[in-house]
Each structure stands twice: as structure tokens, then as C-alpha cells.
Amino acid sequence: MLLRRLSLTGCALMMALATAACTGDGEPESQPTTSPTTSAKPTAKPREVTFGAYGSEEEVAAFQSVVDSFNAASSTRKVTLKSWPDHESALEDVLAGNAPDAFLTSRIDLDQLVGADVLQPVSLLLDERGVDFGDRFSRDAVDAFAMDDELQCMAYSVSPMVVYYNTRMVDFDKMERRDYDVPTADSEGNRDRWTLAEFGAAAQFASRRGDKRGVWIDPTLQGLAPFIYSGDGEVFDDDREPTSLSFSDDNTREALSETLAILRDPTITPTNAQLARATPVQLFKRGELAMIAGFRNLVPELRDADDLDFDVLPMPTIDTRATVGDISGLCLSSDSQVQGDAADFIAYAVSDAAIATVASTGYIVPANTEVAASEDFLAPTLEPEHSGVFNASIRYMEVPPFIDRRDELVEAVTPLLERLVTAPGVLDLDLVTEQIDQASRTILSPEETESPSESPSESPSESTSPSESPSE
């Protein structure tokens, strides 16, 4: 029924478009409602369109600028901005039936939005408005919003995880003179790839004096995933319909073993006392921590930090290049009464001029490749010097499967991931990875884990090795 309804909607839209003319600025021109001999009526009230977006105050302000520019060029439509602090709030509102006509969403929410039948696919509408889905937009980002043979939303931004590093604490030229392993520089001095060993060497170099520490990686699924994928391991047992995490897989364990040799080293990672008084980002901003992993939205905050010089590198490579990230898109509500006008706004919002306004804030990596290669995004006079690392990393992003109970999964496994990365003493990797997978199955495949014969002693919370007891 859904596909049939969408097909009928598409046919109706094509007929409407076939009979509509356009003005020079791309605004649909209404058909005359009076005869030539009748005096003109007063100008009709502009049609109201709502656009929903989430983000920081600066991001929302940039979206407001886009809305204002669109309204200034249109006499028949007026777009009003509605904002949320984050995508979780936006998702909740949309699923509750309060969807704006057009709205920003995260790719991780796409499955729920499609399942709730709240989206109008945008393929036909944007194609009719001349949006070029070819080389002008990241193919990976566009494909991420394809489902049921339709483009459900238009890719807007994509932000791969990268390594931020303090350029004073990690001085590659000085490291090279002292025979540390360093990433190879090209003819222009750019370093666009490095190994896990070089990553570890940088952490050691930065930690050689006082209480300064070399690196912190969040002990989360997102934080560890790039290292697992780079070591040819798997985070989930299936890319489409996972029933478990795959931390006990041999390749995953090997990747974790190599990575944890760095992340569990107490001489190069922040102490409990440091983490008790400040977050890793705060430590990085203060010059007490040399490297953290993060996304593009960190850039404005780091630019505002006092006495901080920083740059970015890709996530380190074990066997193959890999990272993770978030992709956002602009969607059209299936309940909108002004879908054509809302589609006009989306087409404008992904144009070079409009998206450059938001990209210049530093918070996003545009899916529009023209803007991503422009000075509006690269900002050559600002840090990080090598913003092109974000663009280059997009092709190596691993897109996670859709998980309805994502928050519950995170809650179930995070304590075990923290034990994996931060517990003192000797780590029983086989045991903890088995516990992680078992805990994930209670969320991803509960019907297979609920067994009356299961012994309480087999639960993850009670299966601990002597070296990992309460000292945590």
C-alpha cells in the first residue's frame, strides 16, 4: 500500500509540474485565477512552510540565514524555522506527529522514519527541480538515504571520525629527528595516512614529560569501531539484521589486542584523577592531552580555545583504512500540505550558496562536493590546516546497520567496553569480548537468550576475572 500511495503521489506531482510554469528564480508561478478583463486582486498571503533543524546555537543561526535568504527571494512562500537541540529531540517530535514540512534528520533514524510512514521520498521532486545527484554530491552520503528503491531524504552533511592532535605536543619533524615512527609526508608536506604504530609513537612522544598524556579514545562502540574495521574485524555479526556484536570474532579480537596495547597503557592515557576533573575534550583544549578522536562539530569549540594549535589526521590504519561517522539529510514530511514548496526549499538549501553559509560555521562537512572543496569549508586561514582530511575520509566510512533499540544496546555494553579499555591489571580479552557479545544478544536477539536453564553465574555481570574486580 505504501509503494502504491507513493506512486500515485508521484504521478500527481508530475501532472502538476507538467502544467506549471516557472519564474526566472525557480519559483513556481501560479495559474491566473481571474480573467484578463477583471481587475487584479490583492496579493495572496504567502504559503506557510515550516523547516526543522537541530544543532548548536551557531548552527541554528546559520540555518536561519538560509531561511531568510530563501524568503527574501520568494513572494509566494514564507519558511519558518523550528529548532531542536539534537537529533534525538527532532526524532521524538517527528514520530509524535509534529513533523515540519521539511526537516533535518540523522541517517541512523532513517529506518524508524520510513517504518512510521512519515516521509515523502524526494527523488522525483528534487530531480524535477534540477538537483544534480551526480558528482556534485557525495555518492556515499546520497546512497545512505536510499531505501525501498527511493531516495528518502537528500544528503546534506557527512562527518567522519578523525584524530585531532595538538601540533605542539605532536611535532612530527622533531619526532623524525629523534627516530620515532612518523606518517610519511607527500611533496607538499601533507600527511594523509598513518599506521597504528605511528599513532602509538605519537602518543608516546607527547607523554614524555610531566603529566601530559598522549591519547584518549572513548571506550564506546563508536570509539572502538574504526580500529576494529581497520583490522578487518566486524562490530556486528550481520550488516543488515544483526543478532549480536562480533567482538569475539578472531579478527576483531586481533584488532582489539593491537589497539588496546596503546589505549590501556597508563603512561600515555589520562589518569583517573585527570578524567575526574575534566573531560577529554577539556584536557585537549588545555594542552594536557595530545590526541582525541572526534567529528567536525568539534572544530568551532577548538578554534575558540585559548593557546591551542591543532590539526587533524585520519583514523590510524591497522590493515585497511576505515572510520565511522554520521550523515544528515533533509527530509520531506508525508503529511505536508505544501510538499512542492517544501521541496523548493530543500533544493535551495542544498545549493552551493545556501550550504556554504552553514559550512562556513565550521560545524559540518557538506555533502555538496563543490562546497566541500571550497574555501567556505576548507578555511585555509583557520585551523585545522588540513580540513581536506574530512573529505578524504568519507570514502572509508563504515555505515552501521539500523538498530531500533540502539540506546538500550549502548547501555548494555558500555560498562563492559569501559572495562575492556580502562580496567587496571591483566586483561582477559577472550572473556570480556564473550561477555560483550552475550550482553548485546539480550538486546538484539532477546528471544534466543531468554532460557530458563541459564545459570546466573553465566551472566556478564558475574563473570569477571580476578584481575578485573572491584579495583575499578
User: Do residues 150 and 268 both lie within one domain?
Assistant: no
Alpha-carbon distance 349 to 70, whole Å?
8
Sequence-distant (≥ 6) Cβ neighbours of residue 24 within 8 angstroms: none
Is residue 9 included in any domain, yes or no? no
In terms of domains, do 142 and 271 share one? no
**Are 414 and 266 found together in one domain?**
yes
What local confidence, expressed as pLDDT, does residue 44 receive? 79
Q: Cell 515523502 appears where?
A: 120
In a domain, 221, yes or no: yes
The low-confidence residues of the chain, meaning pLDDT below 50, are 1-38, 453-472
What is the greatest pairwise CA distance in the chain?
Answer: 94
| Residue 425 and residue 468 in contact, taking contact as beta carbons nearer than 8 Å | yes
Please calculate the CA angle 433-439-444 and round it to the nearest 5 degrees. 115
Q: Of 396, 415, 440, which residue constitutes the final position of a domain?
A: 396
> For 236-273, how does the pLDDT look when each residue is reduced to its tens digit (9 = 90+)?
999 999 999 999 999 999 999 999 999 999 999 999 99
Q: Is residue 27 part of a domain?
A: no
Same domain, 305 and 342: no
| Residue 254 grid cell | 586481533
Residue with cell 593557546: 307
| pLDDT attached to residue 192 | 86
Alpha helices in 364-462 (DSSP H): 369-372, 375-378, 388-393, 406-422, 429-444, 446-449
* pLDDT score recorded for residue 470: 36
Q: What is the pLDDT of residue 257?
A: 98
Does 383 share its domain with 419?
no
Q: Are residues 387 and 415 in the same domain?
A: no
CA nearest neighbour of 417 among 237, 221, 274:
221
Indicate whether 290 and 211 sit together in one domain: yes
Cα–Cα separations (whole angstroms), residue 347 to 145, 156, 168, 311: 16, 11, 43, 33
Domain presence at residue 191? yes
Residue 109's closest CA among 123, 126, 92, 97? Answer: 92
Q: Are residues 87 and 114 in the same domain?
A: yes
Only one residue has cell 627516530, namely 179
pLDDT value of residue 324: 98
Residues 56, 192 within the same domain: no
Please check whether residue 24 lies inside any domain of the structure: no
Residue recorded with cell 526549499: 345
H and E: helices and strands count for the chain = 21, 13
Give pLDDT, residue 187: 80
Alpha helices in 247-314 (DSSP H): 250-263, 272-277, 280-286, 299-303
Specify which residues 160 forms β-bridges with.
325
Per the rule left: phi > 0, alpha: psi between -120 and 50, beta: everything else, 93 is alpha
Q: Are residues 67 and 141 in the same domain?
A: yes
Q: What is the pLDDT of residues 426-441, one digit of tens each?
A: 999 999 999 999 999 9
Q: Residue 19: name the closest of 9, 5, 30 by CA.
A: 30
From CA 180, how far away is CA 187, in angstroms rounded?
20
Q: Measured between alpha carbons, how far is 247 from 251 in angstroms, rounded to an integer? A: 9
Position 381 scores a pLDDT of: 96
**Domain contains 314:** yes
Around Cβ 61, how many Cβ atoms within 10 Å?
Answer: 15
* Cα 325–Cα 328–Cα 330 angle in degrees, nearest 5: 170
Confidence (pLDDT) at 41: 57
CB 80 within 8 A of CB 67: yes
Following DSSP, what letter does each residue of 75-144 receive, concatenated? Answer: SSEEEEEEEESSHHHHHHHHHTT---SEEEEEGGGHHHHHHTT-B---HHHHHHTT---STTB-HHHHHH
The residue range of the domain holding 378 is 47-160+326-396
Is residue 313 within 8 A of residue 194, CB to CB? The reply is: yes
Name the pTM for this structure: 0.85
Residues 318 and 210 in one domain: yes
CATH of the domain at 251: 3.40.190.10
In terms of domains, do 430 and 298 share one? yes
Look at residue 36 and tell me if it is in a domain: no
Cell of 163: 584524530
How many Cα atoms are found within 13 Å in the side-chain-facing hemisphere of 125? 33
Is residue 135 exposed (0-12), middle (13-18) or buried (19+ Cβ within 10 Å)? exposed
Residue 158: other Cβ atoms inside 10 A: 28
Residue 13 included in any domain: no
> Could you tell me if 328 and 104 are in contact, meaning their C-beta atoms sit under 8 angstroms apart?
yes
The answer for residues whose C-beta is within 8 angstroms of residue 371's C-beta and 6 or more apart is 352, 355, 356, 359, 377
Query: Number of folded domains in the chain?
Result: 2
99/89 Cα distance (integer angstroms) = 12
